[in-house]
């Protein structure tokens, strides 16, 4: 086939970012040919900025049905990701959605069921999977080099946001507009990486501050304890209230400890199995010999552009997706489980009752005193994730 | 007064360690003049090793009443610390007890009440308080340099112990013999440092593995979430099942983040208050300017010897104790609260009901199928904490 003819739904913060590298010709298998936005200001911006070769539509549906596009990137507020993706696939279009896949598992499970029956290429903008350091950390764990996992610890608190950020859009940080706070907006990447590298926990107990550091109604401070099927334990900590914050993933296993911190990886590798040493050593005090290994984590990773290139390559040449859309449910399940645990002050097993979560979220929306908008000002996201 | 005439109760692992630096003359204000041990093998060892100037007693009480000593170091199994300390103070002796102050708060609160009425010098072997890096970390937090605390995270998992360690004494790692595992034997230091540096939490929710990595009945894997009075949150993670483990304390506050890792301190200092920036910044994305500061943490700290010197100096010259005995309750309260939280699978407030904890512990002892000994082989503790 010819180059993939791409349309973008929503040219707000992230959509306009995607339009920039596409119009710059950075994605060899794809061309930006259209955008759709319900906000007339954004259409004016698109007309001025993107040139005459890019058609503009007032609604996603008009663009989907126009015949002008083969594939669409959906960069709307979160709630609209699943219904728009379902509609686009139903009209025969390939789909790449921004993270999160959706706001609640019930909605995303429906999307996945449709995607699995479709022959369209369905990708997800998990751009952090493109970073060589994340891929290498996954390699160390998944290849078995680290041995069976004992414990994970992800402190990902470098998501500082000021009150002015939250004030920039009425939909931001509301149950109606985003369906959550730091877990739904900033952390989909980290929750995905965590489960991509370490596997998905099966039990969650979370402690969450809602509007702890900001005048918002949703989560901006999270500490969660989790357990995995093999008995390993884990902790996930995030907030938008700290500066400068920390970005550090520690994973321990039967062969030592691997730490990824700000793109550097160190692997303290035990020369023998820790559990074997534990059983067989006879000397009282004593521990396995450890080799401190600097791991070549690289500095590569094309980010958003890399995911879009991979998606176009998959459409045109059938290559594998780095971030299949159906995998979006994994991190979302963890996020929903954390919120449900905090709301109920109790354990939540994964998988949990999708209908229960949906009902609890709807209660939050109904009980909210915040404006229930979907829109807002456009911020410059250059340099963000 | 003349040099302090010191007796040691229990010359097992730790007691014999104290005898070594004392007989080497490393403590200028004190002389080792006597030891007491109920184990004849240890008395034989003492007679052979410590020389004729050190009297040997079969029981602590005989030594206390002998008139030969002014002050005693109590280095018995944990349960005996409070009753022996109470007895010694009652007989007019100064007391230095090994950690932990005791095994359950009820017992230690009784000890503290008596100590507070006594004019004797009552110290606790919190030797890790002598390390310059711990003192400096405390200074950064307590001086206000870090601003109001937002979050603490202590991963202290470098306490690897093999099964042979646990098998070295029948009293080890049993409810009857030690009253707990990693929390009661290895972590009293860290729980004390944590509260000494960051303050005491007022609410705990803990998740504990009992005999997770070893054939023991007590705790060898702990993850605890805590909350502080000002709303700050914290996490404490420990285990004896990992190698090489981690020793990293991260504290965040309104002026940035300070990390103590293996005696190095880095302070990422925000140029202005984070909360002020949060409120006043108008630019959407953006965060406070941060200066990465390498803090001179030093490499000093005399450990056990330093605590004993300080205690003798307090007895002889009235100087302040670095680790007053009555402060032993603080870390113990946290340890007991963690165990109680895991046993009840629920929140525990601090302070909690001392009698309830004592009753629950007694249930564990009564229900134990392990030998209920107090004694055991002597290990070489050189190089341990």
Percentage of chain A exceeding pLDDT 70: 96
Which residues on neighbouring strands pair with residue A26, listed in sequence order? none
Q: What are phi and psi of A98, to 5 degrees?
A: -65, 160
Q: Are A154 and A194 in contact (CB under 8 A)?
A: yes
Strand pairing category for B290-295 and B264-270: antiparallel
Q: Over chain A, what is the mean pLDDT?
A: 95
Q: CB-CB: which of B212, B239, B270 is closest to A243?
A: B270
pLDDT score at B177: 93
pLDDT score at B373: 58
What's the angle, vertex CA B351, arms to CA B348 and CA B353, rounded to 5? 75
**What end-to-end distance do the CA atoms of chain B give, in Å?**
32
Average pLDDT over residues A182-210: 98
Residues B156, B141: Cα–Cα separation, whole Å: 19
Distance from CA of B291 to the nearest CA of A (A): 10
* pLDDT value at A379 more than 90: no
* pLDDT value at B1 more than 70: no
* pLDDT value at B380 more than 70: no
pLDDT score at B370: 85
Helix (H) or strand (E) holding B43: helix B40-50
* B349 three-state secondary structure: strand
Q: CB-CB: which of A212, A243, A257 is closest to B288?
A: A243
Q: Are A235 and A154 in contact (CB under 8 A)?
A: yes
CA distances from B270 to A123, B258, B277 (A): 39, 11, 10
Give the pLDDT band of residue A377 (cuts 50, 70, 90).
very low
State which residue of chain A sits closest to B230, comparing Cα positions.
A212
| Chain A residues closer than 8 Å to B243 by CB | 256, 270, 274, 277, 287-288, 290
- pTM of the entire predicted model: 0.95
For B327-346, the pLDDT digits (tens) are 999 999 999 999 999 999 99
DSSP 8-state code for residue B319: P
Exposure class string for A288-298: b at 16+ Cβ within 10 A, else e: bebeeeebebe
Q: Are A56 and A31 in contact (CB under 8 A)?
A: no
pLDDT score at A89: 98
| Chain B residues closer than 8 Å to A278 by CB | 162-163, 213-214, 241
CA-based radius of gyration for chain A: 22
State which residue of chain A sits closest to B259, comparing Cα positions.
A246
For B186-233, the pLDDT digits (tens) are 999 999 999 999 999 999 999 999 999 999 999 999 999 999 999 999
Q: Which of residues 101-160 of B touch A (CB under 8 A)?
A: 150-151, 153, 155, 157, 160
Neighbours of B376 (CB within 10 A): 17
Are B277 and A162 a contacting pair at CB < 8 A? Answer: yes
* pLDDT value at A175 more than 70: yes
Q: Are B268 and B257 in contact (CB under 8 A)?
A: yes
Are A380 and B284 a contacting pair at CB < 8 A? Answer: yes
For A336-360, the pLDDT digits (tens) are 999 999 999 999 999 999 999 999 9
Neighbours of A29 (CB within 10 A): 20
Higher pLDDT: B142 or A169? It is B142
DSSP 8-state code for residue A276: H
Q: Cα B198 to chain center, whole Å?
A: 15
Average pLDDT over residues B229-251: 98
| Chain B residues closer than 8 Å to A251 by CB | none
Q: Counting Cβ atoms within 10 Å, is residue B203 exposed (0-12), middle (13-18) or buried (19+)?
A: middle
Q: How many CA atoms lie within 13 A of B252 on its CB side?
A: 26
Q: Over chain B, what is the mean pLDDT?
A: 95
pLDDT score at B171: 83
Are A163 and B207 a contacting pair at CB < 8 A? Answer: no
Residues A187, A334: Cα–Cα separation, whole Å: 11
For A9-29, the pLDDT digits (tens) are 999 989 999 999 999 999 999
Helix (H) or strand (E) holding B97: strand B94-97
What's the angle, vertex CA A353, arms to CA A351 and CA A357, rounded to 5? 110
My answer on whether omega of the bond before B351 falls inside 30° of 0, hence cis, is yes
DSSP B279-309: HH--SSS----EEEEEE---S---HHHHHHH
Q: Token pair for residue B74?
A: 């109590």
Average pLDDT over residues B255-264: 96
Number of inter-chain CB pairs under 8 A, A vs B? 161
Q: Are B288 and A243 in contact (CB under 8 A)?
A: yes
Helix (H) or strand (E) holding B267: strand B264-270
pLDDT score at B170: 81
pLDDT score at B131: 97
* pLDDT value at A211 more than 80: yes
Neighbours of B113 (CB within 10 A): 12
For A55-113, the pLDDT digits (tens) are 999 999 999 999 999 999 999 999 999 999 999 999 999 999 999 999 999 999 999 99
For B85-128, the pLDDT digits (tens) are 999 999 999 999 999 999 999 999 999 999 999 999 999 999 99
* pLDDT value at B384 more than 50: no
pLDDT score at A92: 98
Q: Are B251 and B119 in contact (CB under 8 A)?
A: no
pLDDT score at B262: 87
Q: Which of residues 199-238 of A touch B (CB under 8 A)?
A: 205, 207, 209, 212-214, 221, 223, 225, 227, 231, 233, 235, 237
ipTM of the complex: 0.94
* pLDDT value at A374 more than 60: no
pLDDT score at A384: 45
Average pLDDT over residues B14-40: 97
For tokens 């550091």, the residue is: A213
Average pLDDT over residues A193-218: 98
pLDDT score at B195: 98
Are B162 and A275 a contacting pair at CB < 8 A? Answer: no
Give the pLDDT band of residue A361 (cuts 50, 70, 90).
very high
Q: Is A252 on the interface with B (CB under 8 A)?
A: yes
Percentage of chain B exceeding pLDDT 70: 96
């Amino acid at each position: 086939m010819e180059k993939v003819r791409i349309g973008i739904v929503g040219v707000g913060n992230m959509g306009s970012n995607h339009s920039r590298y596409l119009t710059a010709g950075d994605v060899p298998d794809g061309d930006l040919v259209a955008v759709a936005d319900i906000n007339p200001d954004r259409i004016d911006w698109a007309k001025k900025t993107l040139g005459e070769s890019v058609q503009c539509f007032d609604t996603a549906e008009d663009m989907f049905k126009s015949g002008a596009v083969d594939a669409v990137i959906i960069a709307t507020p979160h709630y609209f990701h699943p219904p728009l993706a379902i509609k686009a696939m139903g009209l025969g279009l390939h789909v790449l959605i921004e993270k999160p896949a959706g706001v609640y598992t019930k909605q995303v499970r429906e999307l996945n069921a449709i995607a699995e029956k479709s022959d369209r290429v369905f990708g997800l903008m998990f751009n952090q999977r493109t970073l060589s350091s994340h891929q290498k950390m996954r390699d160390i764990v998944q290849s078995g080099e680290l041995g069976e996992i004992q414990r994970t610890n992800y402190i990902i608190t470098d998501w500082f946001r000021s009150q002015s950020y939250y004030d920039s859009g009425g939909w931001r940080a509301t149950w109606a507009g985003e369906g959550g706070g730091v877990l739904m907006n900033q952390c989909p990447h980290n929750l995905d990486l965590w489960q991509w590298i370490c596997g998905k926990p099966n039990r969650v107990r979370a402690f969450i501050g809602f509007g702890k550091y900001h005048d918002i109604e949703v989560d901006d401070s999270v500490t969660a304890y989790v357990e995995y099927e093999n008995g390993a334990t884990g902790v996930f900590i995030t907030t938008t209230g700290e500066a400068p914050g920390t970005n550090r993933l520690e994973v321990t296993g039967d062969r030592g400890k691997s730490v990824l911190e700000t793109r550097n990886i160190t692997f303290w590798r035990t020369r023998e199995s820790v559990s074997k040493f534990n059983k067989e050593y006879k000397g009282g005090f004593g521990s396995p010999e450890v080799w401190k290994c600097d791991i070549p984590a690289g500095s590569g990773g094309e980010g958003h552009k890399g995911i879009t290139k991979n998606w176009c390559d998959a459409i045109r040449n059938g290559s594998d997706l780095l971030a299949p859309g159906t995998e979006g449910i994994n991190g979302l399940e963890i996020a929903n489980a954390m919120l449900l645990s905090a709301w109920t002050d109790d354990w939540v097993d994964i998988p949990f009752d999708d209908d229960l979560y949906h009902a609890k979220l709807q209660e939050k929306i109904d009980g909210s005193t915040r404006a229930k908008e979907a829109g807002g000002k456009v911020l410059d996201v250059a340099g963000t994730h």
